[in-house]
């Protein structure tokens, strides 16, 4: 059983490469296996710094639509939330400023929702006004691309306000690496689909703290299939969020992958192991039924050094 350790530092990438989609080019023939071998992949560690923004250019846009008495669009006001990690009070202040003269905003801290009121001074030309979050729905408590009429009586958010957009990190591989019956997910659809995700980690650290993972018990083993050449030369690492969208403002990371080359279990090998098990069982029965000085020494050694005598029964992975 051969182990090959691969340490990847994302900062040492090509200028035209994005950190969230990194192409790994290995020396030809460095990771190879024969037809009677297979690879097992472990993610041993992953470390980065939590510097990403929950509110960014992909989820901060909204608009206010004014319609006439006939239902035609009279005016569209586009607005954007500030990029960064705003709290609910900062969002309240930003939206109130953007909608000044059209609508007023208040925050219900008990329900964790916003309430939008039509400005009483708004002229009658703006017969009806509608709030339409384009991509910022989670920050306002509404679904995206849904028009919500704002009245003088006030309209409360349908959903709770959520200022945390990035909840988990997924690492997906493609190229010469393909998982055999690896993983299924419904992260981006209602149905479960096959993917090549080798790492899923819930973000449980504060902003600007180190996010670290160490696989101390090598519990995330993945069996890999290889190309016709039996080599892994090129593969791509995609850093994705919980919805399988690329994390745009990802900080540099260090990833430790371990490839374990293992022999396939042929029928002959399985029968040979069974024979070894049976021989050892008879040996232990013989030690019990016909004790002798020699057998006592062997039995004592088995108890004191079990790793020496029983290591062959361990799972090779």
**Domains plus CATH for the chain?**
2-52+167-263 (2.60.120.1100), 61-156 (no CATH), 267-313 (no CATH)
| Region for 154 from its dihedrals, namely left if φ exceeds 0, alpha if ψ lies in -120 to 50, beta otherwise | left
**pLDDT tens for each residue of 237-255:** 999 999 999 998 889 999 9
**pLDDT tens for each residue of 195-209:** 888 899 999 888 889
Higher local confidence (pLDDT), 220 or 115: 115
**pLDDT tens for each residue of 40-82:** 888 899 999 999 999 999 999 999 999 988 888 989 999 999 9
Question: What angle, rounded to 10 degrees, do the helices at 267-289 and 293-304 form?
Answer: 120
- Give the model's pLDDT for residue 295: 60
CA distance linking residue 22 with residue 46, whole number of Å: 15
**pLDDT tens for each residue of 100-134:** 999 999 999 999 999 999 988 877 777 889 999 99
SS3 270: helix
Closest alpha carbon to 177 in 219, 222, 112, 126: 222
Question: Has residue 226 got a pLDDT over 60?
Answer: no
SS3 293: helix
Q: How many CB atoms lie within 10 A of CB 17?
A: 12
- Give the model's pLDDT for residue 316: 47
Mean pLDDT, rounded, for 271-279:
77
Our CA angle for 111, 243, 149, nearest 5°, is 45
CA distance linking residue 220 with residue 182, whole number of Å: 11
Give the C-alpha distances (Å, rounded to integers) separating 250 from 19, 164, 242, 317: 7, 15, 14, 32
């Amino acid at each position: 059983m051969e182990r090959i350790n691969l340490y990847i530092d994302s900062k040492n990438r090509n200028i035209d490469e994005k950190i969230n989609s990194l192409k790994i080019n290995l020396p030809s023939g460095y990771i190879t296996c024969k037809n009677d071998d297979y690879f097992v992949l472990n993610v041993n560690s992953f470390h980065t710094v939590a510097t990403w923004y929950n509110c960014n250019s992909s989820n901060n846009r909204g608009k206010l639509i004014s319609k006439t008495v006939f239902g035609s669009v009279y005016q569209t006001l586009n607005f954007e939330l500030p990029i960064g990690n705003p709290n609910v009070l900062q969002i309240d202040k930003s939206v109130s400023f953007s909608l000044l003269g059209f609508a007023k905003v208040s925050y219900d801290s008990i329900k964790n929702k916003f309430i939008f009121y039509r400005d009483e001074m708004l002229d009658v030309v703006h017969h009806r006004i509608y709030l339409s979050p384009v991509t910022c729905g989670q920050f306002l408590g509404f679904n995206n691309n849904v028009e919500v009429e704002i009245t003088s009586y006030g309209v409360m958010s349908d959903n709770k306000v959520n200022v945390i957009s990035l909840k988990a990190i997924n690492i997906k591989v493609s190229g010469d690496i393909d998982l055999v019956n690896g993983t299924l997910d419904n992260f981006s659809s209602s149905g479960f689909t096959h993917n090549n995700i080798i790492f899923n980690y819930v973000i449980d650290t504060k902003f600007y703290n180190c996010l670290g993972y160490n696989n101390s018990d090598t519990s995330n083993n993945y069996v890999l299939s290889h190309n016709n050449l039996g080599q892994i030369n090129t593969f791509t690492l995609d850093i994705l969020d919980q919805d399988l969208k690329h994390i745009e403002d990802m900080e540099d990371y260090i990833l430790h992958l371990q490839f374990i080359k293992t022999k396939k279990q042929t029928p002959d090998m399985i029968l040979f192991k069974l024979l070894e098990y049976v021989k050892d069982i008879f040996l232990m029965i013989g030690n019990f039924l016909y004790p002798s000085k020699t057998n006592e020494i062997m039995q004592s050694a088995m108890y004191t050094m079990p790793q020496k005598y029983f290591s062959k029964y361990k799972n090779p992975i």
